[in-house]
Amino acid sequence: MGRGYTMPNGFNMQGLMRQAQKMQEKIQNAQEELKSKEVEATVGGGAIKVVFNGSQELVSITIDKEAVDPEDVEGLQDLVKSAINAGITKSKEMVQNEMNDITGGMNIPGMF
């Protein structure tokens, strides 16, 4: 019974559970590592730069003083919003790529 129960079709449930547990451990380790990895997004020709980590947290935002026009606050707001959205997208892509490496591209709902 040390090898686990093998179903009539040769499927070993205990082996599958061990593999799933190892994958979950790898995912948890990757999630911890992703907290320290960063991506950068810029908009407006570099007027706005944002940095996000792998947890989709905004790490920093830099606004070039040339982008600050008191007569066009809405334009600045749009640039900031665009930079933040681009940063979040890049961060999500980074996470997805890391997880695809671990899971072999399998989509496992609730894992990440």
Band the pLDDT of 41: cuts 50, 70, 90: very high
The domain tally of the chain equals 1
Long-range contact set of residues 29-37: C-beta below 8 Å, sequence gap at least 24: 30/98, 30/99, 30/102, 31/55, 31/112, 33/98, 34/94, 34/95, 34/98, 37/94
* Residue 34 falls inside a structural domain: yes
DSSP state of 110: T
**Domain span holding position 41:** 13-103
The per-residue pLDDT for 45 is: 95
CA geometry: angle at 112 spanning 79 and 104, to 5°?
110
**For 45-85, how does the pLDDT look when each residue is reduced to its tens digit (9 = 90+)?**
999 999 999 999 999 999 999 999 999 999 999 999 999 99
5 within a domain of the structure (yes/no)? no
Residue 90 lies in a domain: yes
Q: What is the CATH number of the domain that holds 50?
A: 3.30.1310.10
Domain membership of residue 69 (yes or no) is: yes
- Whether 2 is covered by a domain: the verdict is no
pLDDT of residue 7: 61
Asked if residue 76 belongs to a domain, the reply is yes
Is residue 110 a part of any domain in this protein?
no
Examine residue 4 and state whether it is found in any structural domain, yes or no: no
Check whether 1 has a pLDDT greater than 50: no
